[in-house]
A = this chain, B = another copy of it.
Amino acid sequence: MPYVNIKITREGATPAQKAKLIEGVTDLLVRVLDKSPATTFVVIDEVALEDWGIGGLPVEDYRRVMRADRGRVPMK
């Protein structure tokens, strides 16, 4: 009877994409640990960009720094 919480930044994930996450992670628990889908909960939290920090910065600032300083593709 697993409980899975998926936190992602709020950047336009559609209901169809969320349904794929729910299906995919439930299938994974069935496949790997033989869990029952009927007692597998998945809760998705979309977090506003200003509420997510990485590298000591809010996500948008972090991506800006990554692009400017290192020419890297910004992480999603």
Contact of A46 with B55 in the complex, beta carbons under 8 Å: no
Number of copies of this chain that the complex holds: 6
Which one of B7, B34, B36, B37 lies within 8 Å of A3 (CB-CB)? B7
Determine the distance from Cα of A2 to Cα of B52 in the docked complex, in whole angstroms.
10
Tell me whether chain A's interface is mostly helix, strand or loop, or mixed: mixed
Q: Is the CB of B1 within 8 A of A17?
A: no
Q: Are B47 and A43 in contact (CB under 8 A)?
A: yes
Q: How far is the CA of A33 from the CA of B43 in the complex (A)?
A: 16
- Known contacts A51-B45, A76-B33; is-contact A56 B28 (Cβ 8 Å): no
Residues of A in contact with B (beta carbons under 8 Å apart): 1-9, 13, 15, 17-29, 31-47, 50-59, 61, 75-76
